[in-house]
Amino acid sequence: MTITAPQTSTDFAVHATNLTKIYGEGTTRVEALRGFDVSFVRGKFTAIMGPSGSGKSTLMHCLAGLDDANDGQIFIGGTDISKLNDDALTKMRREKVGFVFQSFNLVPTLTAEANILLPLALAGKKHDKAWLETIVTTLGLGDRLNHKPHELSGGQQQRVAVARALLTRPEVVFGDEPTGNLDSRTGAEVLSLLRSSTREMGQTIIMVTHDAVAASYADTVLLMKDGELVGQLEDPTVETVTQALSGLGA
């Protein structure tokens, strides 16, 4: 099923064709992604939803170059990442992709600031001070930069992770249940930050979630079931998302 017919691959931040991922063999064989095309428009906040086992996490892993697809092509910012070797893929990841995870995933030994700067440090690049200042101020982390992760609250940790993802001005930021470990108020705060980064900074965001409230912050919701794309909602609300999900039998 084709959601949007792409003109050229460069129109999209992320674009994949015939994406196929199979786990196991014989009786344990699972088709996690059943060969479909998918594209994400630049500067939009897209949520991927679906019941457990629908393949939404696998889709994200493959799109981010963390997992190899068995078949198909994946373009990030016009680069075909399915042909890259590990080093090139790693470099692509640190330059063009940002991550925000469910369990914050900060390096416990480093301060908040060092965590934010880590991808640039790995690349051996200088950071743009003004940009860092902007992000830190926007995310309200100014007085927390010298703290270690364990000295920060869950919401603060997740904001550090968001700052880390935004600092490199990546082609796309992937979020894997970014509010899964947060209470609803802090979760809403982080989601607002993600949405405003799309609206104000033009940041492309792809978020995997099974929370209808979280999905309602997105511009577009893609629905998955059993390894296939089965629907799409524009300008979703909590009600439309919940309705669509119950239509999938979730």
Partner 1 sequence: MLQLALANLKTYSRRFIAVTLAVMIGTAFLAATLMVNASATETLKNSIGSSYAKADLVIGQDYMVDMAAGDEDKPETHVLGPKTLKAIESVDGVAAVHGSANIGVSVNAGGRDYYASANTAATNKKLNSTVLESGALPTGSEQVAIDATYAGEYNISVGDVLEIGATTAEGKEISRQVKVSGITAASSDPMTGSAMSLTIGQSLLDALSGPGEASYANIVVAAKDGIDLQGLKDPITSALEGTGLKYFQVNTPDEQIVKDIAAFSGGNDQLTIVLLVFALIALVVTGLVVMNTFAVLIAQRTRELALMRTLGALRKQIRSSVLIEALLVGLLASAAGVLLATGIMAALIKILVATVPEMSIATLAVNAQAIIVPIVAGTAITLVAAWMPARKAMRVSPLAALRPADDAAMGNKAGKIRIVFGALLVAAGAAALAYGAIEGNILIAFGGGVLSFPGVLMLGSLFLPKTVSAIGALTSGGTVPGKLASLNAVRNPGRTTATATALLIGVTLVSMMMVGAQTAKASLGDALGSEFLVDVEVNDYSGTTFPAESLAKVKAMNGVQDLAELTAVGSSKSGQELFATDPASLESVLNNGSQVPAAGQVLVSSNNEGKTMEATGFGGKTGNLELLITESNSLQPVVGWETATSMLGATKESVAKDLNARTVLWLKVDDSLGNADLRTLQTDIADELNVEEYAVGGGVMEKQMFNTVIDMLLMIVSGLLAVAVLIALIGVANTLSLSVLERTRENSLLRALGLTRGQLKKMLATEAVLIGGVAALLGVLLGSAYGLLGAQSVMGAFGAMSVSIPWLQLAGVIAVSVVAALAASIVPARRAAKLAPVQGLASE
Q: Could you list the residues that contact partner 1 (CB under 8 A)?
A: 57, 61, 66-67, 86-87, 90-91, 93-95, 99, 101, 103, 105, 107-110, 114, 118-119, 121-123, 164, 176
Residue nearer to partner 1 on the CB measure, 11 or 23? 23
Residue nearer to partner 1 on the CB measure, 83 or 199? 83
Residue 119 CB, nearest distance to partner 1 (Å)?
A: 5
Residue 223 CB, nearest distance to partner 1 (Å)?
A: 22
Asked whether the beta carbons of 232 and 38 are under 8 A apart, the reply is: no
Round to whole Å and give the CA distance between 240 and 190: 22
Half-sphere exposure of 140 (CA within 13 A, CB side): 11
Sign of CA dihedral 40, 46, 52, 58: positive
Residue 206 CB, nearest distance to partner 1 (Å)?
A: 14
Asked whether the beta carbons of 198 and 204 are under 8 A apart, the reply is: yes
Round to whole Å and give the CA distance between 30 and 16: 20
Residue 111 CB, nearest distance to partner 1 (Å)?
A: 8
| Coil vs helix vs strand at 69 | coil
Residue 26 CB, nearest distance to partner 1 (Å)?
A: 22
Residue 57 CB, nearest distance to partner 1 (Å)?
A: 8
Round to whole Å and give the CA distance between 77 and 44: 14
Which residue is listed with tokens 């099923």? Answer: 1
Round to whole Å and give the CA distance between 210 and 69: 23
- Give whole-number Cα distances, 206 to 46, 97, 143, in Å: 5, 11, 29
Residue nearer to partner 1 on the CB measure, 164 or 241? 164
Residue nearer to partner 1 on the CB measure, 99 or 217? 99
The token pair at 242 is 């919940």
Residue nearer to partner 1 on the CB measure, 37 or 95? 95
Residue 67 CB, nearest distance to partner 1 (Å)?
A: 6
Round to whole Å and give the CA distance between 43 and 100: 17
| Residues 6 or more apart in contact with residue 249 via CB below 8 angstroms | 51, 225
Residue nearer to partner 1 on the CB measure, 98 or 236? 98
The token pair at 233 is 């909602």
